[in-house]
Amino acid sequence: MNEVTREDLEERYKWRVSDLYESDDTWRLEKSRMEKELKKLEGYRGRLGDSATTLAEVLELTFAIDKEISRLWIYAHLLHDEDTRIPFRQGMSREMMGLGSEFGAASAFLRPEILGLGEEMIRGFISTEPRLADYQSFLEDSIRWMSHTLSEQEEKLLALAAPMAGSPRDIFDVFANADFPWPVVTLTDGTSVTVTAALYTDLRTSSIREDRERVMSAFMGQLSRYGATLGTMLDGSLRKAIFFARARGFSSTLEAALFNANIPVTVYTRLIEGANRHLPTLHRYLDLRRRMLGVDRLHYHDLYAPLVSSASERYTPEQAREMIISAMAPLGQGYQEVLKEAFDNRWIDWYPTPGKRSGAYSNGAAYDVHPYILLNYTGDYNAVSTVAHELGHALHSHYATEKQPYPTASYPIFVAEVASTFNEVLLLDHMLATDPDVNLRLALLGDYLETMRSTLFRQVQFAEFEMQIHEMAERGEPITGDSLSRIYLENTRKYYGHDEGITVVDESIAHEWSYVSHFYREFYVYQYATSLSASVTLAGKAREQEPGIINRYFDLLGAGDSEYPIDSLRKAGVDMTTDEPLEWAMREMNRVIDEIEGLLGEDRQA
């Protein structure tokens, strides 16, 4: 499907953006209306202490504007991601950045003025005005932000700086998705291919080792040619993070990033310490991978190779639909019905096409519509698992929207990956329960171990790298492509046991950091690892039929932003401030390794 254009695809394989707005003209009219609505906020400046009713009015107006701007932004974002090469769609996205900045500036007086009322008056207003009930979490959180909230004028300046601050990531997105000169590689069968980011993720899974090596070497080599440019982009992002952290009085960029969701810094550092402590488990899996691939020494380009060459099934979107719906039976018929709606009513954009944004995501910020899912579907089991993963996000958004008013409907990022990885675990359990033959079972279990490697250890490796480079920047040390590559290579070699002879990590891997877009969302990736360990723990408790676990899980999905994520997870049965979730994940990983080794032993005896 890689050479198929968007026009060639059947409509059922494309998301339906008209559910947001009928046309670009409708979108533009609504955008103009919102520009006028922004001016109404000025009428409330200096009046928030007049009465609880006045406070309720301004919050209703503010969140109504925010809701519509989110919808406008999603429409522009989806159109842009369909084909990142189209200039006017790039322009629409930039227009929305401008409108978002105007909104931030227009509403900049809110938090400082609310805090100026004092904690006693704020709580008094909440107790006397029923209309403030939907905004209680926002108001309580504003009190928590008291020591990091600036004056009205300073808040306005920060809001006006937002579009400029987003430039490093915007430049990276355009460069990486539209302008980067992807290398051309000749495969062992004589075929020449242009190795785009999407095709790279597919080709590195080739069963032909020489092709994997050629593709990875060419891809990393091309990245290295632009190391100075890409390093400057990331340096700009680091400087942005430092600016906002220091402006708000945080001791570090890490503290600033975690403060928003009220996550203790020790959760981050404890995760890195725990992953390093459990590197022997990762190395045990890597040695198992080496034996299953039948190679003398495992190389980095072997990490994505299929463990069982005969297990190369491909699944159509329709087959993926049935597999996933069946797999989610433990969550009940209601959950399955929402899945059917997602599949049948075109929430999903399936296939890679020229110019389309690489990767996959779910966006559920259109409160009055439905979530949207972008895929670059290739049809293998990993692709099916990705569909299940993104549907986990989508249904998390669905249930949060169903249970919460708009001000508390956006769930915190810290819990964002719980529902997605929970779905992956259920899909695997379903596939294993069908009693597949040994090769398929080995492939499925191997994929699960690969998920543990890539979602837990790899993301913690990224998190450690992020922490190191932010600390470097905070100390005033120069951030260059060369310094980033040096640190990245040292970390990668540590995690993959290069010095111990576990995995050969070639010098070219030093440049892998430069195509990881998540580094432009500071301290985001660690949440993949915390979420996976949380979902493995919850799935394990569900598998053991712990009383009430499913009901508590749905309470988690419906909680949105009505409480802090550490608290909502603790209520669901997982305490992320302890080592328990990571320990549970490590036991699960070792259990699967044990099962694979048993299957391999049985196969040899046969």
- 432-457 per-position pLDDT tens digit: 998 778 888 888 898 899 989 998 99
For residue 340, what are the CA distances in angstroms to 121, 344, 363? Answer: 48, 6, 18
pLDDT at residue 292 greater than cutoff 70:
yes
Show which residues are catalytic. Answer: 390
- 113-147 per-position pLDDT tens digit: 998 898 999 999 999 999 999 999 999 998 898 88
DSSP 8-class letter at 237: H
- 302-342 per-position pLDDT tens digit: 999 988 865 567 899 999 999 999 999 999 999 999 999 99
Q: Quick check: 113 and 54 in contact, CB under 8 A?
A: no
Query: Looking at the domain assignment, is residue 66 inside a domain?
Result: yes
Query: Looking at the domain assignment, is residue 110 inside a domain?
Result: yes
pLDDT at residue 606 greater than cutoff 60:
no
| Tokens matching residue 168 | 């490093």
pLDDT at residue 272 greater than cutoff 90:
yes
- 251-266 per-position pLDDT tens digit: 999 999 999 899 999 9
Into how many domains does the chain fold?
A: 1
- 62-93 per-position pLDDT tens digit: 999 999 999 999 999 999 999 888 888 888 88
- 359-381 per-position pLDDT tens digit: 899 999 999 999 999 999 999 88
Strand, helix or coil at 334? helix
Domain that holds residue 59: 6-165
- State what percent of residues in the chain have pLDDT above 70: 98
CA distance 183 to 180: 9
Amino acid code (one letter) for 17: V
- Model confidence at 604, pLDDT cuts 50, 70, 90, reads very low
Query: Looking at the domain assignment, is residue 219 inside a domain?
Result: no
CA distance 389 to 424: 6
How confident is the prediction for the chain on average, in pLDDT? 92
Query: Looking at the domain assignment, is residue 123 inside a domain?
Result: yes
Average pLDDT over every residue of 345-350: 96
Query: Looking at the domain assignment, is residue 161 inside a domain?
Result: yes
Q: Looking at residue 81, which CATH number applies to its domain?
A: 1.20.140.70
- State what percent of residues in the chain have pLDDT above 90: 76
CA distance 90 to 84: 7
- 542-594 per-position pLDDT tens digit: 888 889 999 999 999 999 999 999 999 999 999 999 999 999 999 999 999 99
Query: Looking at the domain assignment, is residue 24 inside a domain?
Result: yes
Looking from the CA of 477 toward its CB, the CA atoms found within 13 Å total 11
| Residue among 527, 483, 455, 475 nearest 234 (CA) | 483
Query: Looking at the domain assignment, is residue 339 inside a domain?
Result: no
- 461-514 per-position pLDDT tens digit: 999 999 999 999 999 999 999 999 999 999 999 999 999 999 999 999 999 999
- 221-257 per-position pLDDT tens digit: 999 999 999 999 999 999 999 999 999 999 999 999 9
Strand, helix or coil at 516? coil
CA distance 215 to 193: 9
pLDDT at 1: 42
Strand, helix or coil at 304? coil
Query: Looking at the domain assignment, is residue 488 inside a domain?
Result: no
Q: How many helices (H) and strands (E) does the chain have?
A: 25, 7
Going by their DSSP bridges, the two strands 348-349 and 192-194 should be labelled as unpaired
Residues 6+ apart with CB under 8 A from 508: 216, 217, 220, 221, 224
pLDDT at 603: 45
